[in-house]
Amino acid sequence: MNTVLIEKLLSILIKDEESPTTCATTSPWKTGNNYFIRTVTMHLVGELIYVDDKELVLRKASWIADSGRFHDALRNGEFSEVEPFINDVIVNRNSIIDATVFDHELPENQK
């Protein structure tokens, strides 16, 4: 391959040079946002601090053992049962069912 072609391919693949912890700018994941994530086995909330093509890393994360009424939980930011993690959490992206921005303070205490 010639240098021009390689540079063109790299410019297509690497669209966000200022933020190496995010995928291309077309990615819906934004570091610094809080997310509510449903995986195949559990629900999580946390602040997204890293994302690549296989994993996410959440800071200040909690396992939401019981969200209560789902719409109310997302609207008010209150959950029935919360189990905070001690350290950052790595989530395999293949396990994710869906996710949404969580526009509330993250829970810090067990409930």
56-108 pLDDT per residue, tens: 999 999 999 999 999 999 999 999 999 999 999 999 999 999 999 999 999 99
Q: What are the b/e assignments for 44-76, b being 16+ CB within 10 Å?
A: bbbbbebbeeeebbbbbbbebeebeeeeebbee
* Statement: 18-101 belongs to CATH 2.30.30.100: yes
pLDDT tens track for 10-65:
666 665 555 555 544 578 999 999 999 999 999 999 999 999 999 999 999 999 99
**CA-CA distance, 34 to 42, in Å (whole number)?**
17
Domain boundaries, the chain: 18-101
Q: Got the DSSP string for 48-79?
A: EEEE-SSEEEEEEEEEEEE-SSHHHHHHH---
Q: How far apart are CA 96 and CA 33, in angstroms?
A: 17
Which amino acid, residue 111?
K
pLDDT above 90 coverage of the chain, percent: 76
Give phi and psi for 4, each to the nearest 5: -65, -45
pTM over 0.85: no
Query: Has residue 7 got a pLDDT over 90?
Result: no
Cα dihedral value 9, 13, 16, 18, nearest 10: -70
